[in-house]
Structure 1
Amino acid sequence: MRLKNIAFILLLATTLAGCNDTLDSVDISTVKNKVEHPLPARRIAEMQKKNMPRTSPIMIRIFKEEGVLEVWKAKADNRFDVIASYQICAWSGKLGPKVKEGDRQAPEGFYNLTPAHLNPNSKYYLAINTGFPNRFDQAMGRTGSNLMIHGACSSSGCYSMTDEQVLEIYAFARDAFKGGQTSVQLQAFPFRMTAENMARHRNSEHHDFWKMLKVGYDNFEVTKRPPEVNVCEKKYVFNQQTDASGKLGSAEACPPMSTPPALAMALASYEKTYDVAYEKAVKKLDGMVWYEPSEAERKAIVADKRKGRDLAYAPTGTSLAAGKLMKEEEFAALMQKRTATPNKPAQPAVAAVSSRPGTAAERMKQDRLPQAAGSPAPAQAPAPAETQVANTEGTATTVPIPAQNPLAYAAPQIPDDRKKPFWKFWAKE
């Protein structure tokens, strides 16, 4: 019964996500200047209510599985809050990163969007280039080009919105750049990286990659500010400080690094709560496998949305709505059936749950996120200026009050001696 409830909640979340922001009320034919078209009055009123300057920095978050794109905006206290949530009209492929040109996969990772990434002349109404491949993608040998957030609701590796939606998203970015922001962080995730979702996808071939992304996800959840992102040893590193001689090369060995003490304390508290929730979720999902649907299966459940539209309009639906929890035996039987051909007997299929060695308890222990290398023990961390915020599990977490975030106004760079590093805002001088 619990498993049925989980599936129902996931489906309900998908139905509600972005339902108030489809913007179908906007008549595109009346827009005279799409590049300078202002944000609607309701958005301006909401920004005023949340104490967000009109041209303050923004950040974009994408969650593939539920098909949601969120715009977050800096408040006067320099913490970010969500200002808009949109239901993605079309994304191609399945969960997992883009690996090579032509694989139809939409990117996952952390990307920097500059004014040069805005395309006002896109044949898909308006477009924002995601910046794929980034330094991490390049270090991994991944290829692909022209991966966009654009209109027209048709995707071959992009995140496609309706024209009405991309008009507004473009306006958010345009206004932020006018306000002085030079680099907007795009965080593209397979799903919200909660304990429940990580447990549900614990057997995926992409699990290790997603654990790496989760470190950045957690940093943002704790601080509500875009993390400083770097790459070394072919992996993402977040909010790490190095000495003056430490250089971060995408494929080179990471230099000695450490998490700022105050941030380490906050992350340790967050992860402790997460571990408890993850253990509970794994036990609840024991013996069950999440079946991730194909793009065709996602399209089938939203086929009615195409009625009366141009043929190019191709919504793809969400993985949550088309996927389902299955018993291990049912999943194995389904996979075995799919491998059978008239000239080739079906091969015994092993459920995804068994794709990683060890017992369920051992795998659960492996899945817990380790503390960042070089992080000081929480007990030894000094006490900075603090404030209380709620983490994703609803408990209070102590984090320092930051000054202006330089990363929100400038492209992330390895700081030199003339610039005050980001982490200085997390520790006393």
Structure 2
Amino acid sequence: MKKTITVLITCFIISSFSTQLSFKDAQLKYPRVKQAYKDKSKCISKLLKSHNISNAEIYIRAFKLEEKIEVWAKEKTDVTYKLITSYPFCFSSGGLGPKRQQGDYQIPEGFYVIDRFNPESNFHLSLGINYPNASDKIKSNHHRLGGDIFIHGSCFSVGCIPITDDWIEELYILSVEAKNAGQTSIPVHIFPFYLNEDNYEKHIKDTSISGNHSKFWTNLKEGYAYFETNRTVPTIEVSEEGHYIFK
């Protein structure tokens, strides 16, 4: 009898392991993701192959003034990233400056990661970011900071970044592929504008644009410059005052 129970338990464990789905397989059970792969997988494969990448890790950065998302990628075993594609915003709400409360219509600014994949989004497909992050929580004076910030499809939003159904399918697949290959954290860095020296000096002097954000943007510029110099994503910590620290 004990032998029979042991055999049954062993069979159940083996069966459980054999039926576990990969992240990609689980996503492909959703009709929109399945159709996106059908329509876009060949062009995504071609895109990665053109950059000699077969096992990708990705990094996403967005620029509010220029209304652009950049996608950088690297081979999993490599150190530095390459720019592989970019997507325009389809719509933008709010103005320059960070998001500090619910209902301010602002797209956040800062250093985030993708924390959710939504294959049944009201906006076709969507990738959630972890706003509010530790810095946002410290720097905001409001009790209700808001949340549910996504990069998604469609062409309308309040505080999110819509890039049309067509483009979100590509970005969603790239993100699924990266996570499925073992990337545990996909960084999403959102900047007010390109923070190179000339652009920074131009906008920081224009008080109608910079307002009271100059110190915050100077802090963001450190993270921007780190990647521009090294083509690697810095390790980011947050001080007790809410400032970003880059290592």
Q: TM-score, normalised by structure 1?
A: 0.46
The answer to whether 1:190 aligns with 2:188 is no
Structure 1 residue 222 and structure 2 residue 229: aligned?
Answer: yes
Counterpart of 2:94, as a letter, is G
- Rounded to whole Å, the distance in 2 between the matches of 1:77 and 1:62 is 23
**Quick check: 1:151–1:163 contact (8 Å CA) kept in 2?**
yes
Match of 2:123 in 1: 124
Residues 111-135 of structure 1, C-alpha deviation per residue, up to 9 Å, x if partnerless?
0213xx1111111111111211001
Unaligned runs of 5+ in 1: 1-31, 240-429
76-85 vs 158-167, which moves further? 76-85
What's the CA shift string for 1:227-251, capped at 9, x where partnerless?
1011013210011xxxxxxxxxxxx
CA offset digits 1:190-216 (Å, max 9, x no partner): 111111211111131211111100111
User: How far 1:40 sits from its partner (Å)?
Assistant: 4.1
Match of 1:72 in 2: 72
What SS is found at the alignment partner of 2:204? coil
Q: Which residue identity lines up with residue 63 of structure 2 in the other structure?
A: F
- Looking at structure 1, the residues matched to 181 and 155 of structure 2 have their Cα atoms a distance apart, in angstroms, of 30
Match of 1:35 among 33, 36, 43: 33
Mapping 1:53-72, distance limit 5 Å: 53=54, 55-72=55-72
1:154 aligns to what? 156
Aligned twin of 2:133: 134
Please report how far the alpha carbon of residue 41 of structure 1 lies from its aligned counterpart in structure 2 after TM superposition. Answer: 2.7
Match of 2:217, SS state, is: helix
Structure-1 residue corresponding to 2:204: 202
Query: Could you tell me whether the CA contact under 8 Å between 2:91 and 2:155 is conserved in 1?
Result: yes
Aligned to 1:336: none
Contact 1:201 1:207 in 2 (8 A): no
Confirm whether residue 81 of structure 1 aligns to residue 82 of structure 2: yes
Q: Deviations over 1:19-55 (max 9, x none)?
A: xxxxxxxxxxxxx9322433443332232221212x4
Counterpart residue identity of residue 64, structure 1: K
Question: So what's the TM-score if we normalise by structure 2?
Answer: 0.79
* Structure 2 letter corresponding to 1:191: F
Matched letter for residue 227 of structure 1: P
Structure 1 CA distance, aligned partners of 2:47 and 2:198? 31
Matches within 5 A, 1:337-352: none
Give the structure with higher Rg (CA): 1
Counterpart pick for 2:172 among 170, 173, 178: 170
Stretches of 4+ moved more than 4 A in 1? Answer: none
* Structure 1 residue identity aligned to 2:32: K
Tell me, what secondary structure is at the counterpart of 2:127? strand
Percent identical across equivalent pairs?
A: 36
In 1, Cα distance between the equivalents of 2:46 and 2:122? 32
Q: Which one has the bigger strand percentage?
A: 2
Question: Does structure 1 retain, via aligned residues, the 8 Å contact 2:196–2:225?
Answer: no
Determine the C-alpha separation between the residues in 2 that align with 1:226 and 1:236: 13
SS in 2 for 1:112: strand
| 2:243 matched residue in structure 1 | 235
The alignment partner of 1:110 has SS state of strand
Name stretches of at least 5 consecutive residues in structure 2 with no aligned partner: 1-29
* Structure 2 residue aligned with 1:52: 53
- Which secondary structure state, in structure 2, belongs to the residue aligned with residue 199 of structure 1? helix
8 Å CA contact 2:44–2:170 kept in 1: the answer is: no
Structure ranking higher in helix proportion: 2
- 1:28-427 mapped onto 2 (5 Å cutoff): 33-36=31-34, 37-38=36-37, 39-53=40-54, 55-75=55-75, 76-114=77-115, 117-141=116-140, 143-203=145-205, 204-205=210-211, 206-233=213-240, 234-239=242-247
State the AA in 1 paired with 2:106: Q
In the alignment, residue 163 of structure 1 is paired with which amino acid?
A: D
Contact 1:149 1:158 in 2 (8 A): yes
Contact 2:195 2:224 in 1 (8 A): yes
Task: Give the match for residue 13 of structure 1.
Answer: none
1: CA distance, partners of 2:72 / 2:94: 26
8 Å CA contact 2:73–2:83 kept in 1: the answer is yes
Highest relative contact order (Cα 8 Å, sep 6+), 1 or 2?
2
Aligned equivalent of 1:362: none
1:423 match: none
Moved more, 38-47 or 203-212: 38-47
SS in 1 for 2:131: coil
SS where residue 155 of structure 1 aligns? coil
